[in-house]
Amino acid sequence: MNQDRHDAEVVAAHRFHMRGTSIMIFVIYLFMILTYNDFFLFNPSSGDSVARDISLWICFAGWVSATFLSPLSIWAIASGNLIALRLMPYLVLLWPLSIIIAQSTVYAETGVAYIDYLFNYPVFVITDIALPIFLMVKWNNVRRAMLRAGYELY
């Protein structure tokens, strides 16, 4: 009986931690958007070419996914939703992938890369590199624990 209670407490602690992580991720991205609103709040159809417009739309979808869908998926995973666990890598990686696409498009069209924003505004290292890596590690740990517990994930 004590082991069952201990297991229930461990599960509850992990769920609490996951929900706290989802709130933290949301707040970090939200504050970045509010601080650098010119970077995030733009007209995705304002590019100089069709390729640029497409890359801006992908970038727009990326930051929306990072800000809202990734935290929601973490919250859903904490509630036991296996579909959210399957979707999480796509939701998390859309943002860094969209940045790569946007930067590659600008470089292909102008010959100039704007990767220096990471040096000029190092806080973007957190949102563009560190948080996606952290979330993928978190996803992998949860996925492996679920597989060890006997869940059929796919």
Tell me whether residue 7 is in a domain: yes
Tell me whether residue 86 is in a domain: yes
Range of the domain at 81: 2-148
Q: Tell me the mean pLDDT in the region 62-91.
A: 94
Q: Which residues contact 25 (CB under 8 A, 6 or more apart)?
A: 66, 70, 71, 74, 131, 135
Q: pLDDT higher for 150 or 88?
A: 88
Tell me whether residue 153 is in a domain: no
Task: Give pLDDT, residue 43.
Answer: 78
Tell me whether residue 115 is in a domain: yes
CA distance linking residue 114 with residue 93, whole number of Å: 20
Tell me whether residue 32 is in a domain: yes
Task: Give pLDDT, residue 39.
Answer: 80
Number of structural domains (the chain) is 1
Q: Tell me the mean pLDDT in the region 3-24.
A: 82
Confidence of residue 63 (pLDDT cuts 50, 70, 90): very high
Q: Tell me the mean pLDDT in the region 18-43.
A: 91
State the average pLDDT for the chain. Answer: 89
Q: Is the pLDDT of residue 3 over 90?
A: no
Tell me whether residue 154 is in a domain: no
Q: Is the pLDDT of residue 6 over 70?
A: no
Measured CA to CA in angstroms, residue 6 lies from 3, 152, 153 at distances of: 5, 24, 25
Confidence of residue 73 (pLDDT cuts 50, 70, 90): very high
Q: Is the pLDDT of residue 151 over 80?
A: no
Confidence of residue 104 (pLDDT cuts 50, 70, 90): very high
Tell me whether residue 6 is in a domain: yes
Task: Write down the pTM of the prediction.
Answer: 0.86
